[in-house]
Structure 1
Amino acid sequence: MQINEALTKKIMETSYLTAINADRYRVILRYFYEEYEKIHYWLNKEDVFAMMMQTGLFPDYTLNQCQLDLQALLDWGNLTAMQDSGKATTYKEFKNKKFRYQMSEYSVEIERLTLRLENLEVEGASLQPSLIERIRRQILSLPSLLEKTDEEAAEAWSALNNDFIRLNRNYQDYIRTLNSAHAEEMMKTEQFLVFKDQLLMYLRTFVKALQEHAMVLEEYIRDLPQATLDSLFEKVARYELSIPRIEKKQTAQQLIETCHGRWLSLKLWFVAENGESEISHLYDSTNEIIRRMTRYAQQISERYLQGASRMEDYRHLAQVFQQCQTLSEAHNLSAMVFGPEMMLHLKGLPDRVTESIDSGVYEEAAAYYDLDSRSRKMRQKASRLPHPDYRLERQMQRLAVEEQQRKKRESLRSLIHQRKIDFATLPILSPAVRKILLNWLSRALASASKRARTEEGVYFHVNLDKADQTCVLRCEDGCFVMPNFVLEMEGDY
């Protein structure tokens, strides 16, 4: 992106849209725009004042206010003025400087934008499968454009870009409309069922068209030679430079870079590079909308049928129950139709003889349990038991902990050679031993004297002579690179 003065400066021409008297300014400029479309470019303040009074929106409007409004629009650059001295018959009329006003180019484009914004909801968007098919034909015909004239190649390239912009804009607008809060509320109403099938068919037709053309385009775009694109963009640049323009022209290199940028955007739309392509996101969004609409339609149907009479259903079920020959068959049918009437949770049952799921409760062997009385008057006498002695268990736990600590000390003692622990020469360590060594190291490094003490009271310090070198500490659960520290013990460990 090129940053220049035109990009960073304020656009004063849009000030009338948010000014205090924006209601009057917008009406005046809309009147100028409508007259501009009728090729009636120049207007005077009397014409503007007569229009403002005809609207009926400003009953207290005066000619002086009209002059002030026109002057404000003139100061912002929305209007250009020219003194109309041809009809002046006296010196006083000439001195009063009767002006005629015309819209500026910026104001024309701003009014066109506001009109599009006002009609945005009315126009809406659509998904056109024919647009995908036309883009496919245009992309497949790109190599043949090298044999045509510069003008024909530029027209074909412009048509491809316009169709791609239209496809991208339409699909985003349409998907945004279906994902809006208004559409979400509408999908929950019964009126949605009327055009649900038509909308689903519309979306599925578009997805089918994408699937038919996207695979072909992805493979073709990926294999398209870069030399072909370079030659085509040179032809487009030559044609653009051959058109005489009053404004500042772009260089050939700038035009070619613009073409490359547009082609890259089109390529990323169909071809996935370092992730998913835009067409994949379109697939996912469309499928999610289809699933959501189907779910809402099902919920609406269930809610609609919830209050319907089920007399015929119950009559049919009664006839089915009447055809049962045995009570067991009627029990099975009832469980399947209505489910169990009362769910019993059986606890404390003995081990089953069989694990077969076909074995019923009636086929299981009986189990007997002694039940205590739940009466408040009859209470079972509590038996007094001596306090259990856990000294043996505690002694066994203490011996186990001491044995574990002894093994750790033996492992650490085996790593000390000449009262030094060199991390560069250590063997493969267990996670527990590694944790102890790194704990010692961190406590010593945190000290100002680089000195600390072990759990047994032995002092040690860190030797930093080789700290600028690195070593690999190998452990049972992995390896990591660290500075080559050396722990020097100051006593026997």
Structure 2
Amino acid sequence: MTDVSAASESADEDAFGIDAFTLDDRLRLFHFAAAEKRHEYLWLLRAFDRGRANYQVLLHASDAAGVLERLAAEHPGAAAVGDVQPLLDALADWRVLDRSYDGTRAANLAEYRNRHYVYQFTQAGYRAYRAVEDVLGARLEDAQLSRLVFPDILADLHALADANSAGDAEEVYRKLGRLDSVLGEMAQRAARFYLMLGDLARTNDTRPEVFLAHKDALLGHMREFTAELGRYAPLLAEAVEKTAATGVDRMIEHAAEADERLFRSPAERLEDWRQRWQGIVHWFAEREHSEADRLQDATVTAIRSVLALLRRVTEARRGGVSRESQLRHLAQWFISCESDEDAHALFQAAFGLGAPRHIAVPYADPELIPGRTSWWEAEPVELARTLVQSGRSPGLHGPGRIERNEAQRERLRAEQLKQQAERRTAAASLAADGAHGRVLDEAETRVLLALMNVALAARVPASRSVCAASGSAHGVRLTLTPVEGSTTVHTVRGNLHLNGLRLEVTA
């Protein structure tokens, strides 16, 4: 039993499936989307996806070519793919496809030796392909908030509480898993919806008709969603409390017991389902700053933003002046210029992007503005009128007034006197009590090290038996005398060992 448990623990530590892919391997999965023949790679992978949908997982090169011909007949805009074998080899090298050989296809010994290769999606490769397809198939109108999901969530919470009370592990597993997937989808829908609103606000100047055509449906959709969320939020919070009252630990154990993931240990399953339940509580529990409240606030803010955008677009179209019309008029002016000099003068007057004369002008106090502060956030530099108008620096008219910070000088002087007094006190303590037989404090240690620095710097190299060194500062003298053996001075920073020397401090 010990060997079996040890083997299972070592198997859990090894990477399996998609976890065996390193970071570089996962990034290489998307090489086909940026390669020179990216359209051919995409249609070839679509052929494998078509075969996968028809339960034909393994495809030979000839099978893939046949599926590609059918796709080309169904989609006239499909890219023309010639020889598929180099493409299959590249996809196998990038580990998007898994390559193996099927000996049953060989009709003779020569074909068997040539290894009749067949290909199929790897787990990570299929995810990379689906990610690319999701990006290519994304549409603006796909982003929407789901208000019809709240009744289902409420019903699932009541069913989860009943199943947990009855001890039905499989029903607990199904309901808890469904709640987790529904909440994940709702969060993704909300994120896509608010990103769509941001894109719509940025493109209203170039395409205001798109916004005006959908404004009523957009406002109605958000108002219905926020009304449903406000109506169901207290009911969902009550249902979460009712479900938690039936026993959270027992519910998590039931879900982990029915979980059929083979390569997860029981402890990992318990932790996974506990985090999923905590996510549900974080969404709907009746407390401050729940995810439901944040979603409600975000929707109300989005309604205000859409109304402000509608007001801005309406006023621009009513007055006939918008950014588009202004740029069109400016472009017409450039076309009407008779010479390049006139066009340059118009450009200078319109955009003011001529030679920047103040690019090298520093702040009066360079330490006032940190060097990492962006130009957009920092205070503007004060410029002389002569520099802006004529490009000449202003002349000096006598010496400038010296700026003195008396308060800062007084503070620094007081700090300096305080430090000198502390050093004198520590030096006097060293001279009176000596440096041996006790532990020197921080101030005495600093003074001792400073005295040793002076003494060793002034020491004349000579024989150890006759050479002594001394240094004086702060009214005391330190003398280093040669002795047999070594001496030790104990300080708060540690022990100072002197080999063949002994120090004495006198007044």
Superposition TM-score tier, normalisation by shorter sequence? 0.5 to 0.7
- 2: distance between equivalents of 1:79 and 1:133? 44
The answer to whether the aligner puts 1:285 opposite 2:289 as a matched pair is no
Residue of structure 2 aligned with 1:256, choices 235, 246, 270: 270
Structure 1 residues 218 and 463 mapped into 2: Cα distance closer, same or farther (>3 Å)? farther
Q: Output the CA distance in 1 between the equivalents of 2:310 and 2:146.
A: 25
Q: Measure the CA separation in 2 of the matches of 1:113 and 1:58.
A: 20
Q: CA deviation at 1:22?
A: 3.7
In the alignment, which residue of structure 1 is the partner of 2:307?
Answer: 294
Structure 2 match to 1:442: 415
Equivalent residue number for residue 156 of structure 1 = 175
CA distance in structure 2 between the partners assigned to 1:215 and 1:464 by the alignment: 73
* Residue ranges of structure 2 left out of the alignment (5+ in a row): 1-11, 321-406, 431-439, 443-507
After superposition, give the CA deviation of every residue in 1:64-85 in whole Å (9 maximum; x if it has no partner).
xx43332333334313222445
CA contact (8 A) 2:105 2:116 kept: no
Q: Tell whether the 8 Å contact from 2:47 to 2:68 is kept in structure 1 after alignment.
A: no
Tell me, what secondary structure is at the counterpart of 1:79? strand
What's 2:387 paired with?
A: none
State the match for 1:37 in structure 2: 53
Residue matched to 1:133 = 151
Cα displacement (A) at 1:266: 2.1
How many percent identity over aligned positions? 20
Give me the TM-score of the superposition, normalised by structure 2: 0.53
Task: Indicate the SS of the match to 1:41.
Answer: coil
Q: Which amino acid aligns with 1:25?
A: Y
1:39 alignment partner, SS class: coil
Count of residue pairs the alignment pairs up: 324
1:124 corresponds to which of 118, 123, 142: 142
Structure 2: distance between partners of 1:42 and 1:24:
19
- CA-to-partner distance for each residue in 1:354-406, whole Å, 9 max, x for gaps? xxxxxxxxxxxxxxxxxxxxxxxxxxxxxxxxxxxxxxxxxxxxxxxxxxxxx
Secondary structure, counterpart of 1:296 in structure 2: helix
Aligned in 2, Cα 1:251/1:58: closer, same or farther, shift over 3 Å?
Answer: closer
| Counterpart residue identity of residue 253, structure 2 | E
For 1:8 and 1:282, how far apart are their aligned partners in 2?
A: 36
Contact preservation (8 Å) 2:201, 2:309: no
CA distance in 2, matches of 1:195, 1:181: 11
1:294-332, Cα deviation, whole Å (9 max, x unpaired): 22333344445447xxxxxxxxxxxxxxxxxxxxxxxxx
In structure 1, C-alpha distance between the alignment counterparts of 2:284 and 2:85, rounded to whole Å: 56
Distance 1:138 1:50 in 2: 46
Partner SS, residue 185 of structure 1? coil
Distance 2:421 2:79 in 1: 82
Q: Tell me the TM-score normalised to structure 1 length.
A: 0.54
Contact 1:270 1:278 in 2 (8 A): yes
Which entry has the higher C-alpha Rg, 1 or 2?
1
Q: Distance in 1 between matches of 2:417 and 2:169?
A: 77
Paired residue secondary structure (2:297):
helix
Residue 109 of structure 1 and its aligned partner are, at CA, apart by 3.6
SS in 2 for 1:276: coil
Structure 1 unaligned regions, length at least 5? 308-431, 452-459, 469-493
Residue deviations 1:44-80 (CA, integer Å, cap 9, x gap): 333445666895987794x4xx433323333343132
Q: 1:21 Cα deviation (Å)?
A: 4.3
- How is 1:95-244 mapped onto 2 (pairs within 5 angstroms)? 95-121=113-139, 124-145=142-163, 146-181=165-200, 184-185=203-204, 189-190=208-209, 192-218=211-237, 221=240, 225=244, 228-240=247-259, 243=260
The answer to whether the 8 A contact 1:218-1:270 is kept is yes
